[in-house]
Structure 1
Amino acid sequence: MLIVNGKILTWEKPNRILDAYAVLIRDGIIVEVAPQADLTARYPQEEKLDAGGQYVMPGNICAHTHFYGAYSRGMAIPGSPAKDFPEILEKLWWPLDKSLDDEAVKYSALVCMIDAIKHGTTTLIDHHASPYAIDGSLDLVAEAARETGLRCSLCYEVTDRDGEDRSKAGIRENVRFIRRVEQEKNPLLAATFGIHASLTVSDATLERCRAEIPSGYGFHIHVAEHSVDEYDSLAKTGKRVVDRLHQFGILGDRSIIVHAVHVDAKEIAYLAETKTWVSHQPRSNMNNAVGLPAVESMMRAGIKVCMGNDGFSNAMWEEWKTAYLAHKLWNLDPRRMGGYDLVEMAVYNNQQLAQTQFGGVPVGVIAPGAWADLIFVDYKPFTPFTGGNAPWHILFGFNESMITTTMVAGKVLMRDRKILVLDEAAVMEEALRIAPQVWERYNQKF
């Protein structure tokens, strides 16, 4: 198709906004970006998708999320409020993940993916847990991805907290799904090898994970989200978390470290030396009151810091805005976390991470050879809008309700705010039917 009558925000480096240009797409890939008059003259019979004067830009990328957390929305947690992050895990997340069955796994993924389509997030890297429904759980999430048409990388969270048998089952699920991804060669589906966190895995489990991971894949693990992770590692091994993971070969240029709030200078050096990716989730860090990581120092050290949402809504511009404000307040300094730093994380580093996940084809940029994962944004600026000042228009002008159209690999998933790939009302109705059953099981597990 030809996308015409749009203003194109490319997210190249440097970023450009192109007026009176069109985008030619073939087989899900952007073939050419050129003046509209030229392309329409050369391809008069090509199907046209009219952007109607809106901004055409790459879909957003989420470097870390949890689809399975969907059923926490509105759920009452018994007893007094959790006083810290360890209590949040014990009172909310660990009883909840035990409450998921196959049906709940599938529909928690579907509702989150619908949310992603509506909020213009086209690539998501998920970290799944359902200890009472492990076998085949990643197939259920992958089926939701197939139905919605989104680009997703999946893994299962290995942990010892539910016993050795379930720990080994989690390892098998990761390996099985990675082999499936290798066989299918679906460009919209990728895999990592999930581990929960250092504080819930033994040395023996880390050894097994390292021994079982297929060649060419990386790990996806929470690190030092709260200081308890560091103190647990020091008590068990005499090493800080990143040092311990480094010892077991968990770090590397295919691995994603999530949060890294309480890492020290040596741990930052290890992450930089091993070219390990770090994902930052400011809304989650604020909600759990765990502090904020030294993102700017990490990037200065050479770490590719990306941006995820940790299971919050897939409105990634909200994550941008939170990061922009939270780091200023945390450091009592309005100069911290500038717009260009945000774009480095949320756009350019996320682009590179997604490219490593999905076969080396560029994702998240409008340029020849990149996947046509695009959104239309109905934004009407009343001040000059350029490639250079785009971060501040997004921070102070954009909101997700302006997204009218979402496509992945050239397939339109939403057009004029209507989901085209499935019956949204039917999915929500079924998800609502399942929710009370999940909540009942949660109260039994609590």
Structure 2
Amino acid sequence: MKAIINANIFDYENYIENQYILFENQIIEVGAMENYPGALYEINAKNSIVMPGFVVGHTHIYSTFARGINLSFSPKNFKDILEQLWWKIDAKLGKDEIFYSALVAGIEFLKSGVTTVFDHHASGALIRNSLNTLKEALIDNIGLRGIFCFETSDRFPVRKCIDENLEFLQNNSQMYAGIFGLHASLSLSDKTLKTIAEEYNGPIHIHVAESIDDVDYSVSNYGLTVVERLNKFGLLRKNSILAHCVHVSEKELGLISKNNCYVALNVSSNMNNAVGLPNYKKMKTFNVKTIVGNDGLGFNFARELLALLFSMKLNGHSPLAFNLNDLKNVITNTYEIAQYYLNVKLGRILPGYAADFVIVPYTPPTPIDKTNAFSHFVYGILDNFKPSHGIVNGKILMENHKINLQVNEIYSIARKIAQRLWESLI
């Protein structure tokens, strides 16, 4: 049995000082240090915060090798961004690119306190078995948890996309699972949506109204908004993840809420692409459940949480438009949807929950207790978020900032593969 000792525990609901945590793959016992029974292996968390690892509700691991790329790039709209950058890259991704981008992403996520990811994948050079390749890298080699899908699109062989999703969905565990992926309305024909609706009856993971281009295309070609079009085919299924929803109407928010879908907010990406920001106030009014992702823009999830807080205040034209309780609810919802797919309890430090922790050095310069711990988390811990330890499913994946892998060798190989990829795009 393992133990974290001298821990100051924070799990969004509680803040308790000087505790021990006994765990294997799940938390067995939590208590005051004065009652600590001992364990075979101990991690001393003195002067640190122990908290649940982050869950990223929407990301793109395949974006890993875009860092530093030099392509001709002069977009006038969002469709140009896709065509001039992302669709060029993902069309060339094969097994090596998928595997090593996922290894690097797993290491970077772990260093940033992330223990579970929802990945939305695309790779034109390898569709079939691409999700297993991701799983092999991120789950089997790194040790994180993941929920994977392939973004079905008419720019790929649709039959291969559908089969890849359906086959991966057949196998899952508490470490990994599948969800059916679609790219976006602007790259999906009615024929494709009809086929998916007929062959699959579960939830989906799709980009929705990320830019006004997606909306205009849908209205011009099909006479329906993006959400209305998905609803027409019966694809607004419970526990679906609709990423972005920047340009949705009140009618669409009503449909999203009625069908118990989640909206993944990715504000850093929205600002980077200059597509606008989601209207959280309206989503809250319509009781739409929101989660937080990063759309593949880096790995620093602490930064994403702060960006969400600040951008929603600005977009709502009030410092009260998005408060700390709103941020806590979005974080809690992200754990909730991950729990659904993985069938494991996440997001709290209580007996029976998964032993997915990060340990973050933090010496508060002002008093801290249960009443203000979340404020310390936002304005202190997130501002300098550098975990010393990362533990997933009870396994110590990072200890004293050192990851238990040949990191230098992995990055060396990754650079060679990235160079080869870049040269193929010239």
Question: 1:73, 1:45 → 2: CA distance?
Answer: 43
CA distance in 2: counterparts of 1:84 and 1:386, whole angstroms: 48
Q: Output one character per residue of 1:89-121: Cα deviation in whole Å (capped at 9) or x when no partner.
A: 110000010121110011111111110100000
Q: Does 1:411 align with 2:402?
A: no
- Of 322-331 and 105-114, deviating more is 322-331
Deviations 1:217-269 (A, max 9, x none): 41100000001111111122211110110121211222100000000000000
Instruction: Give 3-state SS (helix, strand or coil) of 1:305's partner.
Output: strand
Q: CA separation in 2, counterparts of 1:239 and 1:330?
A: 27
> Are 2:165 and 1:180 equivalent residues in the alignment?
no
Alignment pair present for 1:110 and 2:103 = yes
8 Å contact kept, 1:260–1:278:
yes
TM-fit CA distance, 1:209:
1.4
Structure 1 letter corresponding to 2:255: Y
1:362 to 2:345 alignment: yes
Is the CA contact 2:57–2:292 (under 8 Å) kept in the aligned structure 1? yes
How far apart are residue 65 of structure 1 and its match?
0.3
1:35-70 deviations in whole A, cap 9, x for unaligned?
2222x23xx344322213311000011000000011
Distance in 1, matches of 2:268 and 2:195, equals 33
Match of 1:299 among 276, 279, 284: 284
* Matched ranges for 1:87-106 at <5 A: 87-106=80-99
**Equivalent position amino acid for 1:88 in 2:** I
CA distance in 2, matches of 1:46, 1:106: 35
Alignment partners' CA distance in 1, 2:86 and 2:311: 24
| Residue number in structure 2 paired with 1:275 | 260
Q: Tell whether 2:169 aligns with 1:171.
A: no
- The equivalences for 1:138-177 within 5 A come to 138-145=131-138, 146-162=140-156, 166-177=157-168
- In structure 2, how many angstroms separate the alpha carbons of the residues matched to 1:127 and 1:53? 37
Instruction: Give the partner amino acid of 2:10.
Output: L
The equivalent residue for 1:230 is 215
| TM-score (ref. length: structure 1) | 0.92
Distance (whole Å) between structure 2 residues aligned to residue 102 and residue 409 of structure 1: 27
Partner of 2:380: 397
- Residue aligned with 2:391, SS: strand
Deviation at 1:393, TM superposition (A): 2.1
Deviates more, 1:258-267 or 1:287-296: 287-296
CA distance in 1, matches of 2:226, 2:145: 31
Correspondence 1:21 to 2:19 = yes
Note the alpha carbon deviations across 1:25-44, whole angstroms, 9 max, x for none.
13x11122222222x23xx3
RMSD: 1.4
Matched, 1:351 2:352: no
Equivalence map 1:202-241=2 (5 Å): 202-213=189-200, 217-241=202-226
Q: What's 2:9 paired with?
A: 8
CA distances 1:114-138 after superposition (whole Å, capped 9, x unpaired): 1010000001000000012111111
Contact between 1:245 and 1:251, CA under 8 Å: does it hold in 2? yes
Is the Cα–Cα contact under 8 Å of residues 282 and 326 in structure 1 kept in the other structure?
yes
User: In 2 relative to 1, CA 401–298 (structure 1 residues): closer, same or farther, beyond 3 Å?
Assistant: closer
Q: 1:240 to 1:206 in 2, by over 3 A?
A: same
Q: CA deviation at 1:357?
A: 1.1
1:386-432 CA-to-partner distances (Å, cap 9, x unmatched) read: 33433432332224553100010110110000001x21111100000
CA shift in 2, pair 1:400/1:383, >3 Å: closer
Write the distance in 1 (CA, Å) between the matches of 2:376 and 2:411. Answer: 33
* Bigger Cα displacement from structure 2, 390-399 vs 372-381: 390-399
Q: Is the 2:47–2:362 contact (alpha carbons within 8 Å) kept by the matching residues of 1?
A: no
Rounded Cα–Cα distance in structure 1 between residues aligned with 2:398 and 2:230? 41
In the alignment, is residue 82 of structure 1 matched against residue 75 of structure 2? yes
Secondary structure of the residue aligned to 1:335 is coil
CA distance in 2 between counterparts of 1:132 and 1:20 reads 52
Alignment partners' CA distance in 2, 1:190 and 1:400 = 32
Residues 390 and 398 in structure 2, CA contact (< 8 A), matched pair in contact too: yes
C-alpha distance in 1 between matches for 2:281 and 2:124: 36
Deviation, structure 1 residue 281: 0.5
Q: Which amino acid is the alignment partner of residue 111 of structure 1?
A: V
The verdict on how the C-alpha distance between 1:378 and 1:440 changes in structure 2, with shifts beyond 3 A counting, is same
Aligned-partner Cα distance in 2 for 1:300–1:2: 43
Contact 1:340 1:391 in 2 (8 A): no
Match of 1:190 in 2: 177
Aligned to 2:296: 311
Contact 2:117 2:147 in 1 (8 A): yes
Q: Which amino acid aligns with 1:218?
A: P
Mapped partners of 1:432, 1:387: distance in 2: 45
Report the 3-state secondary structure (helix = DSSP H, G, I; strand = E; otherwise coil) of the residue aligned with 1:37: helix
Distance in 1 (alpha carbons) for counterparts of 2:239 and 2:341: 8
Provide the residue aligned with 1:423 in structure 2: 406
For the residue of structure 1 that corresponds to 2:18, the secondary structure is strand
Q: Write the deviation string for residues 265-310 of structure 1: whole angstroms up to 9, x where unpaired.
A: 0000000001101100010000000111111321232111000000
SS of residue paired to 2:34: helix
Question: For the structure 1 residues 83 and 389, does the alpha-carbon distance in structure 2 shift closer, same or farther, using more than 3 Å as the test?
Answer: farther
In percent, how many aligned pairs have the same letter?
Answer: 35
Q: Distance in 1 between matches of 2:406 and 2:90?
A: 26
Contact 2:281 2:316 in 1 (8 A): no
**CA displacement at 1:383 relative to structure 2:** 1.1
Does structure 1 conserve the Cα–Cα contact (< 8 Å) formed by 2:104 and 2:410? yes
After superposing on structure 2, the runs of 4+ consecutive aligned residues of structure 1 that deviate more than 3 Å are none
- Distance (Å, rounded) in 2 between the aligned partners of 1:441 and 1:147: 28
